[in-house]
Amino acid sequence: MPPTPGPIAAAGNIGADNYLGTIILIGLIVAVPATLVGYLWAVKVATKIEVGEEKETNGEEYDYDKVVASFGKMPSTFQAFLPIILPIVLIGIGSIISVLETSGGFAAFMLFLGQPVIALLAGVIVALPLMPKYDEETLTGWIGKGLVDAAPIILITGVGGAFGTVIRNSGVEEIIQGWDIGGLFTGVFFLLVPFLIAAALKTAQGSSTTSLVITSSLIAPILPVMGIEGAVPLALVVMAIGAGAMTVSHVNDSYFWVVTEFSGMDVKDAYKAQTMATLLQGVVTISVTMLLWSILV
């Protein structure tokens, strides 16, 4: 699944759009422990969970030669990853151009290609040459099965987005901006405010992008009052929002259903693997962000 433009939108909402380089650099640092804890959880816990397809194989080993014989010539590494990487690159370039407000014909063309629907369509187009043949089985059967698998994800995503709009229009923005946050959270502990708000929104409606955008809009007026300005402090605020926006992924998150539908995992097992992993990664991310604040700010 390609990354959402939520982090860039969050940076723009809090006035950090001129510090994207700093945000990317700090994001890379923060991502290391988050990735590590996710890996450790996958190795120590998730490997003990059996999914349906694994049970059906009865422990048979993967036979590469048999797969090649049935599928045909296997694609190169570049060809295999291009349908995934291309949409990510196009969306990323489009988001950066949009934030920088670059003008010109080339910029307009890249903005067009950077639209999520167009970028994903480009991914589909470059994936077509990977098909071993073009007949009823592939063009009708495979694509039909893909639509059946994707339909629940699309429906759940739509419901989550609608719920996010309800939350945005419910008046919660005025309530949060009226809190006396300065008297409760100061210094490094202020990062807990965007983290908790983003986590609550993520858990309630499922969309990380919606959580990032709404949270950044809510706290933007508070930052000048708290004296939070400059590249590093604002970048760490974006990290705190991002940490909350990944905590936690469960049944109303479309990515949760991507994991369950395409892995054959039961919902209860997905709670053990996916939901707990995102909880641990979110907690570790906000902890590392607070540590960096103590060191750098």
- pLDDT, tens digit, 9 for 90 and up, residues 216-242: 888 887 888 778 888 889 999 999 999
Cα 63 → chain centroid:
33
pLDDT in tens, 87-140: 888 877 876 787 677 788 888 898 888 887 888 889 889 988 877 777 777 777
- Rounded to 5 degrees, φ, ψ at 253 are -100, 125
Residue 110 CA, distance from chain mean position: 22
Q: Are 37 and 264 in contact (CB under 8 A)?
A: no
Residues in the chain: 297
Q: Specify the pLDDT at position 279.
A: 92
Q: Which of 127, 110, 116 is nearest to 154 (CA)?
A: 116
For residues 224 and 251, give the distance between their C-alpha atoms in angstroms, rounded to a whole number. 37
Mean pLDDT of the chain: 78
| Residue, of 88 and 157, whose pLDDT is higher | 88
Q: pLDDT band for position 154 (50/70/90)?
A: low
- For residue 72, the model assigns a pLDDT of 62
Residue 45: what pLDDT? 82
What six digits make up the tokens of 227? 């004296």
Q: Determine the pLDDT at residue 1.
A: 39
What are the residues whose beta carbons fall under 8 Å from the beta carbon of 294, sequence distance 6 or more?
188
d(Cα 153, Cα 255) in Å, to the nearest integer?
8
Choose between 73 and 196: higher pLDDT.
196
| Whole-Å CA distances, 36 to 7, 29, 74, 142, 223 | 21, 12, 31, 35, 31
What element of type H or E holds 236?
helix 231-245
What pLDDT, on the 0 to 100 scale, is given for residue 192?
92
The tens digit of pLDDT for each residue in 44-65 reads 887 777 776 554 544 455 555 6
Confidence band for 32, pLDDT divided at 50, 70 and 90: very high
Backbone dihedral angles phi then psi of residue 62, each to the nearest 5 degrees: -70, 125
The domain ranges of the chain are 6-58+141-296, 73-131
